[in-house]
Amino acid sequence: MNVTDISAGATLAAILALVITVGALRLLPPRADSKEGQSAYLMNQLIAKTGEADKALAENRELRAEVHTLRQRVNELENQVAGLWSMLRQQGVRIDVTRAATNAAYNEPRRAAPRIPQDVTLSEDIPFRDWLVAHFDLDDLKVLCADMKLAEFPPVMKLEQAATHTVFEARKMGKLSALEAVALDKRPNVPAW
């Protein structure tokens, strides 16, 4: 290689370096110490800040629209909840009224029904009751109650309880002497109590 080739290559390298340096300087922001540079720099900053402000303003509008939509939805939900509470209060009142009516309907027959003594009768009725127990069975007492139109006794009663019930019902309805007469007629060969 000769000297001219080296100098041509060096010149070409120097020119290339100069082009790269000028391009790089153009890409850099203008210097703030020159008036033109300052105004260009400030203009670029203003444009950048305005773009950011416009973007923030658009986001703010979107967020306000979302907040407004969410507030409307919350108001709708609050109205629905208030409606549900109102329905629940009305249902509670209806349940209380129904419960009171049901309890009254369930308990009224129990209160109105006379209590049937299981083993207690008046002292003068005890001999007659014992006579019934000695000479009648459960089926006979059922027939006797039916003949006298007395209240039927529950089928799970024992013989003593059934006899007590029969005497009690007859006394309550004022048919005790008639019951005694019918019972004696049904057992004519048995001596009275």
pLDDT bracket for residue 120 (50, 70, 90): very low
Instruction: Identify the sign of the CA torsion 157, 161, 163, 168.
Output: negative
Model confidence at 46: pLDDT above 60: yes
In a domain? residue 108 = yes
Instruction: Identify the weakest region by mean pLDDT among 36-40, 114-118, 152-156.
Output: 114-118
Q: Are residues 38 and 57 in the same domain?
A: no
Is there a domain that residue 192 lies in?
Answer: no
Task: Evaluate the CA torsion angle 78, 79, 85, 88 in order and state its sign.
Answer: negative
Q: Say whether both 94 and 146 belong to one domain.
A: no
Asked whether residue 133 is domain-assigned, the answer is yes
Whether residue 176 lies inside any domain: the answer is yes
How far apart (Å, rounded) are the C-alpha atoms in residues 170 and 102? 32
| DSSP single-letter state for residue 33 | T
With respect to residue 118, please indicate whether it lies within any of the assigned structural domains: no
Number of structural domains found in the chain:
3
Q: Could you tell me if residue 193 is inside a domain?
A: no
Distance CA 138, CA 134 (A): 11
Residue 73: what pLDDT?
A: 93
Q: Is the pLDDT of residue 114 over 80?
A: no
In a domain, 61, yes or no: yes
| Together in a domain, 67 and 36 | no
Question: Is the pLDDT at 117 greater than 60, yes or no?
Answer: no
Could you list the residue range(s) of the whole structural domain that residue 58 is in? 50-113
Indicate the pLDDT class of residue 68, thresholds 50, 70 and 90. Answer: very high
76 — pLDDT class (breaks 50, 70, 90): very high
